[in-house]
Structure 1
């Protein structure tokens, strides 16, 4: 079952061509926007970018294999953000931020740091908003993502690692006057990603289901912060679980410390979740709205990727499999018989890397 508000979403996602660029659109009046503090604010933010995103489907995943793994026949509701523009949820936040830039800022352009998904989203957003993007990526980033950024017209700067990347992007912003579009931090970013959570709840209700729990991947926390806030506003009794890789657990460390914390290195195949630190806004929003954090290892990520590919026919990157890995791993006993929404956040992986990770 595919669920979306309005007409056939699958047709929109699969057939609609690239959006036409705009030239210096008028910036939004967002002085009253303080993040995802109300359903009205989330809806207004979503409406402001709806010309450049799609409402991704919510799919009821049912199969004998899934039932045997969960020990229940209750379906799992997959929010398919891998079908979003640029292949992940990231355009929602990037566009919400960049939509507020005035003509002078758009003329100077934007810059970003990312392992790939955010960089691609910023490149896409720059293309449709009529500006330019210079994105910084680690030199071990997936080649398909690097090429994807260039296809959107972004200039790509490669650096040694993500720590060097943050230093380089600050230099670009200072030297060239470009606006830095942060990959996960800030009220506008969370306001954009909150649309994922609101759609998930609305689509499930349209199918006659009130979800008991939602599972969201965490990198820096921008997606989880927005989704968790929206879910708690729209369905206060629905639990929200955040999931991180063991080798990139900055939010876990932050929760334990009671303040944003960092990690010294990223050690996971889920490079899209490899934020080197948490930041205050996304940390506080997650702490306020996330019921529990769980960890998954790389073997669990591979297992979830394999199951999604073989059983649900979805080819996802490791980050896109993280919520499924949590459902089948650390949350399996906790959520038996629960009606669960799972955010499948992205699919930006090339064929060779996908096959190598799964030993195909």
Structure 2
């Protein structure tokens, strides 16, 4: 395998008419080998992992690093700088222990039972408010704008103590950070704008703390720079991911009416349904690790310094782990998927995201039993230009 020419790039193109399936070519690569040589846009030659077993192995192995300055991006437009630099203080997702451990422990301590319970109640209230607004507006609406985006946006604003009215200040800039076609200059400008916004917020929390995660962290020994970068990370992670899961899940359910009918008939399927949708849709395309030393993996030698890109969609569609993986089956015990990653970097906010999905999806389906697409399926604008997959708009209507 090491003598074969490397795959020229990470597959990103999706088959026409199959918006819920992973990019073409991933399944074929996985069938040939779970670990494939791959050329990176900057000239680096590393690896692509496509199996479920190998994905979990790489993400759990401390010999593979998440450090920003070591990684090579598998597609153009992911990194704003030509030469990767060490993660700034507080950017814990791009760090290894012990730095990562310290930040993670401080953040975990902020997700108290009381706070999560209060956020759950707020999710229910916010969801009801937006359903009422949709009902008053009447069909047709863009579900992304009217429902999928504002719910997690308000939740993450309340989690961090951001005034919801200020969300427009960072919303568009955050979108620029995730847009694959953004130039280096555009991404740097967007980064600076969001960074500046969060810095203002940190100074305000220092001066007058409120009951939120960012205020709680001001009582620790974290510096302003660390707080800004933690807030930046949480804001980016919580704003776009859940919104796209909500909208894309609704699109998938409307395109699989038998599964939607089963969920309506048996609400006890909800937890299975959420996990299956997370597995089936896999909106995060990849994550990256770098070998800190020579590691034998899948029968080949991964040399120190080589990047390994892990394909989340390929791992979650691996037939060795999930029977009939390309079928959406809401009754499937889908535990073990890697939609939230795996290992010490597994998504910190995964339980909050699950709560948002458990509340938002059933509430929408209950409120509008006749919910349907207002356009032809192939007219739905997919986010093929964004790092986080989903839909740009989802026009829906229903019977009054």
Whether these two folds match at TM > 0.5 is no
TM-score of the superposition, structure 1-length normalised? 0.24
Greater fraction of residues in strand: 1
Larger Rg: 2
Normalised by the length of structure 2, the TM-score is 0.22
1 or 2 for the larger relative contact order (CA 8 Å, sep ≥6)? 2
